[in-house]
Structure 1
């Protein structure tokens, strides 16, 4: 089985596009491909901040990617950027149920297409429930602190691998040494990933 570990952030448009690409690969490979969500925050601050000009410029540049037209994505410019830790912990929780990609896509859609505040617990719980996650179990997992440890470990591992940007991926054969996995930085299309994936 091929495994792709992906580090991404919910305020990064290229991370959004990568999630859509991974969904397409998952549909093609079915049970031969496992996607594992890893967490990394671009804006690790509490409260809301205004998007910087460089963020807005990056978002505008991302709109020229072919996938935006193919998927008919009408990306909104967020009024504020906020803490995505809750979203990251929730998607990590969804890994154990094989729903991480589905929840990640729903959270990206909520943020970029509907302008919702995904740092709001009520919003995240509602989205999680809609895709089949038990909101009470998720709430309990969030409250006991276990998910926080995992997300912190993910962020540390991102630095250990020396990734320079998001999205970032490790691609290899499941159950082999992590050292055998190929590190990939930056958004990759379906075609680009098909050339990289082990045969």
Structure 2
């Protein structure tokens, strides 16, 4: 069975949702027969490399709320992250275009290191005061995930490398009706939106598995 997960590394609920999905998967009897594929989705594809700043300031401008209200919103998200054993810092986090990060994640997928790199990028972005929009930081994370530095730098230096793969993922998300992330698709039979509790993912996996077995029985 295949589970496809559309997400963006700038999305805190994708960060939390990944952890919850993995807990849900751990509770699924057939977990060893599940292939997980991460797919690209930009929360704001309009951003360019020049569009950077702090997350808290961006949220104030985007929502029209006061800094205190935005901080309260972030504290709620942080509480959810920490309840899953995840680190989460409110201050010092940057935002920017995630397109290059998605391109590098496609390289990691081709090298069998996608999940490892995704975890490292999430941790750097949400739990540490490290900007994943800095090329040297991003390359360092790729190396830590097991990718050759020269190969990672070559991909980042060529704006078309894996660009079509990122766009194809995003086009497919739109075709499936996903207008937000995280979005989980189980065997192209069931969809789960948002960072749901772990037990919801376990139930969805069981339902998809049973549906698969029934389809095989009637084939």
Q: TM-score, normalised by structure 2?
A: 0.75
Deviation at 1:23, TM superposition (A): 4.0
Change (3 A) 1:130 1:83: same
Deviation at 1:119, TM superposition (A): 1.7
Range with bigger deviation, 131-140 or 159-168:
131-140
Matched, 1:182 2:190: yes
Q: CA RMSD in A?
A: 2.4
Matched, 1:162 2:177: yes
Deviation at 1:126, TM superposition (A): 0.3
* Aligned counterparts, 1:1-199, within 5 A: 2-24=1-23, 31-44=32-45, 45-46=47-48, 47=50, 48-49=52-53, 50-53=57-60, 54=63, 58-65=73-80, 67-142=81-156, 143=158, 145-172=160-187, 180-197=188-205, 198-199=208-209
Change (3 A) 1:70 1:156: closer
SS of the aligned residue for 2:120 comes to helix
Range with bigger deviation, 117-126 or 73-82:
73-82
Q: How many Å separate the matches in 1 of 2:114 and 2:72? A: 29
Deviation at 1:103, TM superposition (A): 0.9
Q: How many Å separate the matches in 2 of 1:23 and 1:151? A: 23
Deviation at 1:149, TM superposition (A): 0.6
Q: Radius of gyration: which is bigger?
A: 2
TM-superposition CA deviations, 1:46-77 (whole Å, max 9, x none): 12144223475653332332x52240523334
Deviation at 1:183, TM superposition (A): 2.2
- What runs of 5+ residues in structure 1 fail to find an aligned partner? 173-179
- What runs of 5+ residues in structure 2 fail to find an aligned partner? 64-69, 210-219
- The count of corresponding residues between Structure 1 and Structure 2 is 190
Q: TM-score, normalised by structure 1?
A: 0.82
Contact 1:43–1:81 (8 Å) recurs in 2: no
Change (3 A) 1:196 1:23: closer
